[in-house]
Structure 1
């Protein structure tokens, strides 16, 4: 059985107004078994919260950090934690 995890990521760069949150949601759904959200922050970053199998969370983090995303990713900061629950799907906020 896969270990469950919570991943919180802050993505810096040109990541607002380019469909970044929508592509992040699509990628999370493609990976499967992930719930959470992608949210634009007032300072220009996007916050991504994902809960699910640790391997799935890692796959999403790798995709975010690789820069194979809309816009331009200058860097990511992540925190790993234990899942808190409360998400039915992967949403855009």
Structure 2
């Protein structure tokens, strides 16, 4: 009985440590202060997009970072221009 209880406690402690994940800090804006910032969240999925206005061509340059779930660290997703 003691062995069974010990095994049960061991399994519970292993299970909880496996589920303790950290996606890390939200990435900082890559090029100074952005013109705008958008945030999207759907269940565990998160994305943050930093927008920068370019007055020379009236376009917005963006850089997006995503994290698929609590155990996925932030990573760059896309970068580009929009008019």
Structure showing the higher helix proportion among its residues: 1
Relative contact order, higher structure (CA 8 A, sep 6+): 1
TM (norm. structure 1) is 0.29
TM-score (norm 2): 0.31
